[in-house]
Structure 1
Amino acid sequence: MEPDFPLSGTFVSSIKESCRIVTVAANIKVEDAAIRRFLESPSFRSSFHRVSGSHGLAFPLKFPSLLSELNLLSVLSLLNFASGYRVPLHEQTGRGAWDNIRAFTFSLYLSSATGQGDLLSAKGMKTMSEQQVAQHMGVTIHVERPHEKIPGVTVGELGGPIYELVKLINSTLTETGQILDAAGYSELGGFVLESLKEGAKADPSASLGIVLERLVRAIPAFRDMAVVNGKPVYCFKKALFLIHAVKIRFGSSPPFPIPSTAQAPVFTDNVLPSLLDLTGATSHGLHELFPGAESEDKIDALLALPPEASQAAYVLRAAAVYACEKIVEYARGDGKNSEEQTWLKDITLPELDIWLWAVAKDRPDYRELERFVLRGTVFF
């Protein structure tokens, strides 16, 4: 079930407030003692400045225009999901979800640059076929099964988790392309640019919310929201990621208006909840950051959630949003940081997000940390 949109002007605050409400209702606690342990852990202190810059948004491509690069960045953000297919993707390609999506988007761009049709345009996206998606991903979407009547003979047919992912990517591209084309936009980047300019017309404190609202209202694949136990919860992970990605890539010398993302909520997925207990050399899921027997039972149940349990996934993701808010709030508090950690007062939520996401790849033991798996979603 999908809730109503937040009221205009409240898209950013609705993420923070709805995630707080859902987290509290689930009896998940984020306590100061656990936050302090986290912030003072050797893992965090020794790696934050190095790892928080590992955003994966440096492209080894030559672009003919700023709009071309903005468009690729926009499509990449639109497709920034597939975390539930990490294992089968590794089996077929040797890469995880994000690296596969990046390689796929690059392939679409390079094919367009060689005169094979602009696959990143609205018209190219809306006419994309499942076969094209599989080809540019470099994956096989057939599975083998025994022949019904001939022993020892196998036949190939469409199916399996990778085919499920290909269909999700294809439907996201075709739906978005249709919407853009019907609205008169030649590519997603053009719509994003217009949204950025609309945001610049408002007070700086409101511009992030205006851009976010335009993206979410226009494109269904950005409507990352649900109803959990009768309450709305808003995450809007990919739309927030897109705006911050634009900030990272173009913010040093902006060629167009870009809102500040310093107060943006984190881009919550299946990695952040699993990494929020990095209090030292060992990882124990979420138990230390969310202490208490009742909370531990809740987290254990959620980490074991079946693939269809999207509501449980929203609870976990909302808890990550709320926990990161509390961590940054604590870090900025007066008199709570040791003298050598005064730099903590300047950390932002997006920086914390990127550190959590990147540190998951930084150490072998963190790579092995169990993450919950939800398939069939285009939101993370």
Structure 2
Amino acid sequence: MSIPLPSPGNFVSSVRATSRTVREAANIQISETSIKRLLLSPAFTRTYHRISTTSHGLALPLNFPSPLSELNLLSILALLNIASGYRVPLHQETGRGAWDTIRAFVFGLYLTSSTGDDADFLSAQGMMNISEAKIAELLGVSLHTERQHETIAGLTVGEVGGPGWEVVQLLKKLLHDTGATLKNSGYRDLGSFVVESLQEGDKAAKGKGEEVAAEVVLERLVRAFPGFQDMGLVDGRPVYCFKKALFLIHGITIRFGSKSPSPFPVPHTSHLPVFTDNVLPSLLIHLGLIDLSAAAQSLSSLFPGAGSEQSLETLLAPAPEASAATAPRKKQPPKDGPTLTTEQAYVLRAAAIDACELIVAYARTMDTAELEPQGLAWIKDITLPDLDMWLWAVAKDREDYRALERFVLRNTLFF
């Protein structure tokens, strides 16, 4: 069954509306008590300003010949921001998690590109032509896996396949399909398409409100490229997440919003829904915000013990201080959480979108007189993108958070 795109002008609102519908239909609970507990917790109040407004890997340590060149690289980084389900095997093979592996891969694309469209992997033609072998080389993964021979003891047999091969196939599809779309539409690269979209959004926003610009850019990205069409069906209901496209739009604001004059129009993004992946819903479950206890058994059994009073007492407290004895200790490799179906993943990702909407809405209603004596009146002004960035970054910021299981979905082009 094909999934229809949202109606024109309603891409942002459809993310919110369908996420709430899916979350409520699944009987996933989000209480004001749990929201208030998080917002007033030391885990939140003592780290929010430090980690919610940083660049999170978007400050690229490269010398760009032009702002358009940087925008093009940022756009491709957002397009390829996937492989979260391969976090554990990527750590084993590259020593990096999914985001850092993809980031290093995109750096490699930039550094190894030569002049001329065919050899420029960041051009439409180069994206269309890049080979599996080159992707694997830059990614630092093997295209083969080893297995025990069926009849000869002690003999291992190498064959094409395995997690590294799967990630390469996903990246190849995104690069080839996007390059072909750009080439057929007359664009030299993805950055050129994005610039045109930013200009159209800026023009449309005049007289209609600054929020219109992001709506226009989101709609253009999603309509044009399958790699940005992050949507699914849950019990026959459409749900729209558009994680990578929203992430790109906010990334443009982070990288170019403070430059004066800006080389191209920068959209207003503080109103955008969060960029939901596997980190946000998993962490919100562990922090007691997303309550699966009344949902169907297929969901309620996924994270046993998560959100319990005992675990929250530790997780919402200040981060444990590393002692001199433990500070040099080598980081433990991550552990996979439950493996989900595509539909289950969309349900939890939708719940995360709606949970963040409810968190920000609740923050706006908090009593200033209660917050000011604690120096916490700033909570009333938190934004959805900054909350997203806090959740994503705090999951790496604390060792006890890093150890929390995240759900796994492989072979997806969207996160």
Specify the TM-score bucket, using the shorter chain as the normaliser. Answer: over 0.9
Change (3 A) 1:310 1:24: same
Which residue number in structure 1 is paired with residue 387 of structure 2?
352
Q: Is the 8 A contact 2:211 2:271 kept in 1?
A: no
Q: Is the 8 A contact 2:292 2:299 kept in 1?
A: no
Distance 2:84 2:110 in 1: 22
Return the offset for 1:207: 1.3
Q: Is the 8 A contact 1:225 1:233 kept in 2?
A: yes
Q: Does 1:219 align with 2:225?
A: yes
Return the offset for 1:146: 3.9
Which residue number in structure 2 is paired with residue 8 of structure 1?
8
Q: Does 1:131 align with 2:133?
A: yes
Which residue number in structure 2 is paired with residue 371 of structure 1?
406
RMSD, matched Cα? 2.0
Find the residue that maps to 1:61 and give its secondary structure: coil
Find the residue that maps to 1:143 and give its secondary structure: strand
Which amino acid in the other structure matches residue 373 of structure 1? Answer: V
Q: Structure 2-normalised TM-score?
A: 0.85
Which residue number in structure 1 is paired with residue 257 of structure 2?
251
Distance 1:21 1:148 in 2: 50
Q: Structure 1-normalised TM-score?
A: 0.93
Distance 1:2 1:376 in 2: 19
Distance 1:308 1:49 in 2: 33
Distance 1:48 1:186 in 2: 40
Which residue number in structure 1 is paired with residue 201 of structure 2?
199
Q: Does 1:92 align with 2:93?
A: yes
Q: Is the 8 A contact 2:340 2:407 kept in 1?
A: no
Return the offset for 1:231: 1.0
Change (3 A) 1:328 1:157: same
Which residue number in structure 2 is paired with residue 314 of structure 1?
346
Find the residue that maps to 1:164 and give its secondary structure: helix
Q: Is the 8 A contact 1:302 1:316 kept in 2?
A: no
Query: Would you identify which runs of 4 or more consecutive aligned residues in structure 1 move more than 6 Å?
Result: none
Q: Does 1:262 align with 2:270?
A: yes
Return the offset for 1:91: 0.3
Distance 1:306 1:291 in 2: 16
Which amino acid in the other structure matches residue 230 of structure 1? Answer: G
Q: Identity of counterpart residues, as a percentage?
A: 58
Find the residue that maps to 2:215 and give its secondary structure: helix
Return the offset for 1:144: 1.9
Distance 1:147 1:335 in 2: 67
Any stretches of 5+ residues in structure 2 without a counterpart?
305-336
Distance 1:220 1:238 in 2: 11
Which residue number in structure 2 is paired with residue 165 of structure 1?
167
Which residue number in structure 2 is paired with residue 30 of structure 1?
30
Return the offset for 1:301: 3.5
Any stretches of 5+ residues in structure 1 without a counterpart?
278-284
Distance 1:249 1:92 in 2: 31
Return the offset for 1:348: 0.7
Distance 1:147 1:295 in 2: 44
Find the residue that maps to 2:157 and give its secondary structure: strand
Which amino acid in the other structure matches residue 317 of structure 1? Answer: R
Q: Is the 8 A contact 1:290 1:296 kept in 2?
A: no
Q: Is the 8 A contact 1:26 1:298 kept in 2?
A: no
Which residue number in structure 2 is paired with residue 280 of structure 1?
none
Which residue number in structure 2 is paired with residue 281 of structure 1?
none
Which amino acid in the other structure matches residue 375 of structure 1? Answer: R
Q: CA deviation digits over 1:228-255, x for unaligned, max 9?
A: 1121100000000000001000001221
Distance 1:123 1:316 in 2: 37
Find the residue that maps to 1:255 and give its secondary structure: coil
Distance 2:150 2:292 in 1: 54
Find the residue that maps to 2:250 and give its secondary structure: helix
Using the TM superposition, name which of 30-39 and 112-121 deviates more: 112-121
Q: Is the 8 A contact 1:324 1:352 kept in 2?
A: yes
